[in-house]
Chain A
Amino acid sequence: GAGVSQSPRYKVAKRGQDVALRCDPISGHVSLFWYQQALGQGPEFLTYFQNEAQLDKSGLPSDRFFAERPEGSVSTLKIQRTQQEDSAVYLCASSLGGRAVWFQETQYFGPGTRLLVL
């Protein structure tokens, strides 16, 4: 089975442009996470989906960031009116999502999308 895939792998945007980043999780995985990784730093949580429900968006840095997972599989992270501080690697991860043990589960990460805002 394939792992988590993300597209595009690289994106260059002009400041003010809107971008959309796609994540294809492992088939059957209930949980899906988005993280943002600045250069030289560890990933930071953005948002969490359980199937199609967005249960936690506490990490989204502003209302310019929007994520969806309408059918409980593929997810899209959209950034409106990009700013230079949005430049980072955006990571998607999925996990099985067993309710009783979600805090013990392994998350499987995609290769990331490197976003550069000029």
Chain B
Amino acid sequence: GNSVTQMEGPVTLSEEAFLTINCTYTATGYPSLFWYVQYPGEGLQLLLKATKADDKGSNKGFEATYRKETTSFHLEKGSVQVSDSAVYFCALSAGAGGTSYGKLTFGQGTILTVHP
């Protein structure tokens, strides 16, 4: 079956530090890949996505590249801010064909805390 593995947290950084959160996946076919973020007291919201190999998703200074050869979708940001403190979830949606209907398979989440 499909699965997503994220680097274990929590991750604690100082403001303006470089961020990487690793994500690898197992899936049949060609899944779409997503990063969702959950800010304190808020619901899950999409951060970025990529729907085919070598696509780069980007938003709010965050980037992730869909690497089919390494089955990875690592999240990066060059300079984090205190406001980036949140829980980050990597997820996949199985590709065309089959009957997955777009349901998401999530990783376990990575807690990020950024200090001033």
Contacts and interface: CB of A to CB of B under 8 A. Distances in A.
A99 B3 CA distance: 24
B109 A33 contact: no
A2 interface: no
B104 interface: yes
Contacts of B104: 33, 35, 43, 45, 93, 107
Interface in B67-116: 89, 91, 93-96, 99-109
B42 A111 contact: yes
B103 A33 contact: yes
A48 B102 CA distance: 9
A56 interface: yes
Interface string A40-56: 11111100101000011
A48 B104 CA distance: 11
B96 A43 contact: no
A103 B32 contact: yes
14 contacts: A4-B43, A40-B109, A41-B108, A43-B89, A43-B104, A48-B102, A48-B103, A103-B94, A103-B95, A104-B51, A105-B93, A107-B104, A108-B46, A111-B43
Given A3-B43, A42-B91, A110-B43, 15 more contacts: A33-B104, A40-B109, A43-B89, A44-B106, A48-B101, A50-B101, A56-B100, A56-B101, A103-B102, A104-B102, A106-B34, A107-B46, A108-B46, A109-B44, A111-B42
Interface of A: 3-4, 31, 33, 35, 40-45, 48, 50, 55-56, 59, 91, 93, 95, 102-112
